[in-house]
Amino acid sequence: MEVTINRPAVRNALDPSAHRRLAGIFDAFAADDRLRVAIITGSGDRAFCVGSDLKARLASGGDRMPATGFAGLCERFDLEKPVIAAINGDCIGGGLEIVLACDLALTVPHARFGLPEPRVGLVAAGGLHRLARSLPAKLAMEIALTGQLFDAAKAQGHGLVNAVVPAGADVLQDARKLAAQIVECAPLATKATKQMIARGLEAPSLAAAFAGDYPAYREMLQSNDAVEGSRAFLEKRRPNWTGR
């Protein structure tokens, strides 16, 4: 599934209506077993998303977020399908929070990143919690407290994106190739993998992570696909996944 934030006149900033629409889209993605991977990108080449539409925010008295958070994604803690960010331009404020909520991210080289909310009298809210879980504490503090922007090379160096595509390359096409690699894997295996990583990181210790309960892992072990994968390997053919 591909999702494009299509508000280029405001650099793909989100208003309350956009938040609600995105929440509905990701609800549908989560519920449809035919959809394996989501890619989210922005319209145009200037911006992926620059956060909240401040004019709309002032007019409405606030962002009025859906229960699943900014862009209908950032507080969606039970989504067990991969989401890829194809960053086509500036990724600022809530835009960076979207990327932090994604599992994988690719970016164009001219994109800028940051959480500049303090410079307009605000705080990055949920973006702070995700940033602090993605970076060493002092680096997260520097980014959050100064509000300074940084380039794509630094974003990759910080581990916030997986790769910077070459200048002139189509980041969406590269994201599609990455999604295709994921789709080659068994659906229940990718679900279990994401669940185990997410829940394992929440465990208080490595030992607790090993001892944790992962329903998707148990489901995968008992699946027809687990048998099919081994059989296909031995028969030197491509597996036929059924998601069961």
Q: How many angstroms separate the first and last alpha carbons of the chain?
A: 21
Catalytic residue among 2, 75, 80, 97: 97
Measured distance CA(105)–CA(97) in Å, rounded? 12
- Give the β-pairing of 2-5 and 150-151: unpaired
Determine the Cα–Cα distance for residues 243 and 226; give it in Å rounded to an integer: 10
Type of residue at 9: A
- Cβ-contact 114, 102 below 8 angstroms: no
Query: Cα separation of 241 and 81, whole Å?
Result: 16
- Verify whether residue 80 is a known catalytic residue: no
Answer whether 36's CB lies under 8 Å from 190's CB. Answer: yes
Catalytic residue among 2, 75, 80, 117: 117
For residues 133 and 97, the answer to whether their CB atoms sit within 8 Å is: no
Q: Is 117 a catalytic residue?
A: yes
**Element of type H or E holding 90:** strand 90-92
Q: How many residues does the chain have?
A: 244
Amino acid at 174: D
Asked whether 39 and 81 are in contact (CB, 8 A), the reply is no
Q: Do 105 and 164 contact (CB within 8 A), yes or no?
A: no
Residue (of 73, 76, 83, 132) closest to 105 by Cα position: 83
Instruction: Please list the active-site residues.
Output: 97, 117
